[in-house]
Amino acid sequence: MSETLYDKYGGIETFSAVVSNFYQKVLDSEELAPYFDNVNMERLMSHQTNFISTALGGPDNYTGLDLKKVHAPYQITVPHFQEVAELLEESLDEAGVEQVDIDSIITLVSSLMDQVVSSA
Protein backbone atom coordinates (compact mmCIF):
# COMPACT_ATOMS: atom_id res chain seq x y z
CA MET A 1 0.00 0.00 0.00
CA SER A 2 1.43 3.38 -0.95
CA GLU A 3 1.77 6.19 1.53
CA THR A 4 -0.81 8.97 1.23
CA LEU A 5 0.16 12.64 1.14
CA TYR A 6 -1.70 12.96 4.42
CA ASP A 7 0.63 10.41 6.06
CA LYS A 8 3.76 11.56 4.25
CA TYR A 9 3.54 15.04 5.78
CA GLY A 10 2.53 14.17 9.33
CA GLY A 11 -1.25 13.98 9.24
CA ILE A 12 -3.70 16.22 11.01
CA GLU A 13 -1.13 18.30 12.92
CA THR A 14 0.63 19.35 9.72
CA PHE A 15 -2.52 20.12 7.79
CA SER A 16 -4.07 21.99 10.72
CA ALA A 17 -0.97 24.21 10.73
CA VAL A 18 -1.13 24.63 6.95
CA VAL A 19 -4.80 25.65 7.13
CA SER A 20 -4.11 28.09 9.98
CA ASN A 21 -1.22 29.70 8.09
CA PHE A 22 -3.29 29.77 4.88
CA TYR A 23 -6.25 31.55 6.48
CA GLN A 24 -3.94 34.11 8.11
CA LYS A 25 -2.68 34.93 4.60
CA VAL A 26 -6.25 35.08 3.28
CA LEU A 27 -7.34 37.43 6.07
CA ASP A 28 -4.28 39.61 5.40
CA SER A 29 -5.37 40.02 1.76
CA GLU A 30 -7.32 43.20 1.09
CA GLU A 31 -9.06 41.43 -1.79
CA LEU A 32 -10.02 38.25 0.06
CA ALA A 33 -10.64 39.34 3.65
CA PRO A 34 -14.11 40.81 2.94
CA TYR A 35 -15.37 37.36 1.95
CA PHE A 36 -14.82 36.28 5.55
CA ASP A 37 -16.66 39.06 7.36
CA ASN A 38 -19.10 37.45 9.79
CA VAL A 39 -17.66 33.96 9.18
CA ASN A 40 -16.90 31.70 12.13
CA MET A 41 -13.23 31.18 11.28
CA GLU A 42 -12.65 28.45 13.87
CA ARG A 43 -15.47 26.39 12.36
CA LEU A 44 -14.34 27.14 8.80
CA MET A 45 -10.74 26.13 9.56
CA SER A 46 -11.95 22.89 11.13
CA HIS A 47 -14.03 22.09 8.03
CA GLN A 48 -11.14 23.01 5.73
CA THR A 49 -8.67 20.89 7.68
CA ASN A 50 -11.02 17.90 7.46
CA PHE A 51 -11.64 18.54 3.75
CA ILE A 52 -7.93 18.73 2.89
CA SER A 53 -7.10 15.74 5.10
CA THR A 54 -9.76 13.62 3.40
CA ALA A 55 -8.69 14.78 -0.08
CA LEU A 56 -5.08 13.79 0.67
CA GLY A 57 -5.89 10.30 1.85
CA GLY A 58 -6.52 10.88 5.55
CA PRO A 59 -9.59 9.89 7.54
CA ASP A 60 -12.92 10.97 6.07
CA ASN A 61 -14.13 13.42 8.70
CA TYR A 62 -15.42 16.03 6.25
CA THR A 63 -19.07 16.84 6.88
CA GLY A 64 -19.31 20.11 4.98
CA LEU A 65 -22.05 21.19 2.66
CA ASP A 66 -22.14 20.98 -1.12
CA LEU A 67 -19.32 23.25 -2.35
CA LYS A 68 -21.38 24.98 -5.04
CA LYS A 69 -24.25 25.71 -2.65
CA VAL A 70 -22.07 27.02 0.18
CA HIS A 71 -19.97 29.30 -2.07
CA ALA A 72 -22.74 30.69 -4.33
CA PRO A 73 -23.79 33.58 -2.06
CA TYR A 74 -20.23 34.97 -2.07
CA GLN A 75 -20.03 35.58 -5.84
CA ILE A 76 -16.39 34.43 -5.90
CA THR A 77 -14.43 35.53 -8.96
CA VAL A 78 -11.78 33.64 -10.93
CA PRO A 79 -9.00 36.07 -9.86
CA HIS A 80 -9.97 35.63 -6.21
CA PHE A 81 -10.04 31.84 -6.59
CA GLN A 82 -6.59 32.01 -8.16
CA GLU A 83 -5.27 34.16 -5.31
CA VAL A 84 -6.60 31.62 -2.82
CA ALA A 85 -4.80 28.84 -4.70
CA GLU A 86 -1.56 30.87 -4.67
CA LEU A 87 -1.83 31.44 -0.92
CA LEU A 88 -2.47 27.75 -0.37
CA GLU A 89 0.59 26.93 -2.47
CA GLU A 90 2.70 29.32 -0.34
CA SER A 91 1.36 27.76 2.86
CA LEU A 92 2.14 24.24 1.66
CA ASP A 93 5.65 25.29 0.61
CA GLU A 94 6.26 26.92 4.00
CA ALA A 95 5.21 23.64 5.66
CA GLY A 96 7.89 21.76 3.74
CA VAL A 97 5.64 20.03 1.22
CA GLU A 98 7.63 19.01 -1.85
CA GLN A 99 6.86 20.90 -5.08
CA VAL A 100 5.64 17.78 -6.89
CA ASP A 101 3.11 17.21 -4.10
CA ILE A 102 2.13 20.88 -4.03
CA ASP A 103 1.45 20.63 -7.75
CA SER A 104 -0.81 17.61 -7.16
CA ILE A 105 -2.71 19.41 -4.39
CA ILE A 106 -3.13 22.58 -6.47
CA THR A 107 -4.37 20.49 -9.40
CA LEU A 108 -6.97 18.97 -7.08
CA VAL A 109 -7.99 22.42 -5.80
CA SER A 110 -8.14 23.81 -9.33
CA SER A 111 -10.49 21.00 -10.34
CA LEU A 112 -13.00 22.45 -7.86
CA MET A 113 -13.03 25.93 -9.41
CA ASP A 114 -16.34 25.46 -11.23
CA GLN A 115 -17.97 24.54 -7.91
CA VAL A 116 -16.60 27.62 -6.11
CA VAL A 117 -16.53 30.43 -8.69
CA SER A 118 -19.86 32.01 -9.54
CA SER A 119 -18.89 35.45 -10.82
CA ALA A 120 -16.66 36.77 -13.57
What DSSP state is assigned to residue 119? B
List the beta bridge partners of residue 119: 77
Q: Sketch the domain layout of the chain as residue ranges.
A: 5-116
Residues 6+ apart with CB under 8 A from 117: 71, 76, 77, 78, 81
The DSSP symbol for 10 reads T
pLDDT tens digits, one per residue of 33-62: 999 999 999 999 998 999 899 989 999 887
Distances in Å between the Cα of 22 and the Cα atoms of 16, 48, 80, 91, 119 are 10, 10, 14, 5, 23
pLDDT of residue 64: 72
Fold of 5-116: Globin-like (1.10.490)
Q: At what angle do helices 78-94 and 99-110 cross, to 10 degrees?
A: 150
Per-residue pLDDT, averaged over 16-28, amounts to 97
Q: What is the mean pLDDT of the chain?
A: 93
pTM of the full structure: 0.91
